Amino acid sequence: MKQKARELLIKTRRRLFGPNVGNNISAFAGNGIDFAELREYRYGDDVRRINWNVTARAQKPYVNVFNEERELNVVVVFMLSGSIYFGSVRQKQEVMAEVLGLLSFAAVRNSDRVTTLFFDEGVERLFKPTKSQKSLYAALEHSLSVEVLGKRCETAALVDYLLKGIRERSIVVLVGDFYEMPDFSTLAARHELYVAIVRDRFEEEPSFEGEYDLLDPVTDRHNRIDIDEGVLSAFRERIRSHDEALREHFAKHRIASTKIYTDEDPFIRLKELLK
């Protein structure tokens, strides 16, 4: 496992610290998060600070002005569940580890502090805030070696922990497969929230028939099921309905999200998420 962690570390750092700076993941949005006022745009202002709603109403550009610029506190949450122990191309757990590495090193590259939290029914492990690249390797290695079978991420307990444990407004990135419906409304009101959903295409579009003895990786229960096209169609529809409810919840509370499949390059999806 240490060898795999080293290989992933090398791959991650090559993407973020290579010569092609323009291809790197953007810095996290949120610098200067203490809002002060609006003023008209001046030549040289950062276009990312344009307030488009006010600009549209006033018919001339306005920008957001903040009280201070400061380093960000970035919290990456690795949501532990038995369901991430699966993959037809790569295991979801490995892809989530790569996402963790890319996010963490992107933040450190931007001179921000990174906290890494592994959570199931409670805190499995917490890596304290750091700006050191060396310190991130331990979290990356743990993400690949931690036992996930039989575990379930309790999102209500996670939200409660983050609300009580993070006092300053922070960037919070949740990484998991999100097969349960969460309520992130209060968390999104307090912090700047991003969600990376890691899935395998076979999970969403299964194509096999017959009688199977299936093991639930979360509960460790065996179920013998006779699977036909009717069962598969109902399952696919259930997944689509669940994901649509997720999208609506994220949109309502202005939570940025992306879905990353195990046959995709997480780097590309994260670049889109953080634009």
For 152-185, how does the pLDDT look when each residue is reduced to its tens digit (9 = 90+)? 999 999 999 999 999 888 999 999 999 999 999 9
> How would DSSP label each residue in 97-112?
HHHHHHHHHHHHHTT-
pLDDT of residue 5: 75
Token pair 């889109």: residue: 272
Q: What is the DSSP pairing of strand 73-79 with strand 171-176?
A: parallel
Give the whole-number percent of the chain exceeding pLDDT 90.
55
Per-residue pLDDT, 21:
45
Answer whether 72's CB lies under 8 Å from 109's CB.
no
Entry pTM: 0.81
In angstroms, rounded to a whole number, what is the distance separating the alpha carbons of residues 124 and 81? 11
pLDDT in tens, 137-161: 999 999 999 999 999 999 999 999 9
pLDDT category of residue 1 using cuts at 50, 70 and 90: low
**Integer CA distances (angstroms), 270 to 14, 58, 183, 242, 274, in order:** 16, 33, 23, 22, 6
Contacts of residue 70, defined as CB under 8 A and 6 or more positions apart, other chains included, come to 31, 32
Fold of 2-21+70-273: Rossmann fold (3.40.50)
pLDDT for 228-257, tens place per residue? 898 889 999 999 999 999 999 999 999 999
Q: Is the pLDDT of residue 82 over 70?
A: yes
Looking at residue 22, its pLDDT comes to 47
Instruction: Tell me the per-residue pLDDT of 201-217, one tens digit each, with 9 for 90 and over.
Output: 999 998 888 887 877 78
Q: Answer yes or no: are the C-beta atoms of 191 and 171 closer than 8 Å.
A: yes
pLDDT tops 70 at residue 84: yes
- CA-based nearest residue to 96, from 257, 268, 272, 261: 261
The full set of domain ranges for the chain reads 2-21+70-273, 35-66
